[in-house]
Amino acid sequence: MSLARHLIFLGAPGAGKGTQAQRLAQYLGLPHVSTGDMLRASVQSGSDIGRRAAAVMDSGALVSDDIIVGIVAERLTLEDAVAGVIFDGFPRTVYQAHALDQLLQDSGGVISAVLHIALDDEEIVVRLSGRRVCSGCGAIYHERYHPSLVTAVCDQCGGSLVQREDDQPDVIRKRLAVYQAETAPLIAYYHDRPAYHQIDGHGEADEVFARIVEAVREKD
Q: What pLDDT is stored for residue 80 in this prediction? A: 94
Catalytic residue flag (residue 164): yes
Catalytic residue flag (residue 51): no
Percentage of the residues of the chain whose pLDDT score is greater than 90: 75
Length of the chain: 220
Question: Of 172, 68, 62, whose CA–CA distance to 120 is shortest?
Answer: 172
Burial readout 54-92 (b: 16 or more C-beta within 10 A, e: otherwise): beeeeeeeebeeebbbbbbbbbbeeeebeebbbbbbbbb
Catalytic residue flag (residue 17): yes
Single out the catalytic residue among 5, 17, 75, 132: 17
Backbone angles phi, psi at 133, to 5 degrees: -120, 135
Q: Which residues are annotated as a binding site for AMP?
A: 35, 40, 61-63, 89-92, 96, 164, 175
Q: What pLDDT is stored for residue 184 in this prediction? A: 86
On average, the pLDDT of the chain sits at 92
* Single-letter residue type at 90: F
| CB-based contact 183:95 (threshold 8 Å) | no
Minimum mean pLDDT range among 1-10, 27-36, 126-135, 146-155:
1-10
Catalytic residue flag (residue 92): yes
Tens digits of residue pLDDT in 53-105: 999 888 888 889 999 999 999 999 999 999 999 999 899 899 999 999 999 99
Q: What pLDDT is stored for residue 103 in this prediction? A: 93
Q: What pLDDT is stored for residue 1 in this prediction? A: 46
Q: What is the mean pLDDT of residues 191-200?
A: 96
Q: Which residues are annotated as a binding site for Zn(2+)?
A: 134, 137, 154, 157
Catalytic residue flag (residue 52): no
Q: Which residues are annotated as a binding site?
A: 14-19, 35, 40, 61-63, 89-92, 96, 131, 134, 137, 140-141, 154, 157, 164, 175, 203
| CB-based contact 10:187 (threshold 8 Å) | yes
Single out the catalytic residue among 5, 23, 75, 131: 131
* Single-letter residue type at 180: Q
Backbone angles phi, psi at 163, to 5 degrees: -100, 125
- Taking the C-alpha atoms of residue 29 and residue 217, their distance in angstroms, rounded to an integer, is 15
Tens digits of residue pLDDT in 49-67: 999 999 988 888 888 999 9
Q: Please, what are the domains in the chain?
A: 5-119+179-216 (3.40.50.300)
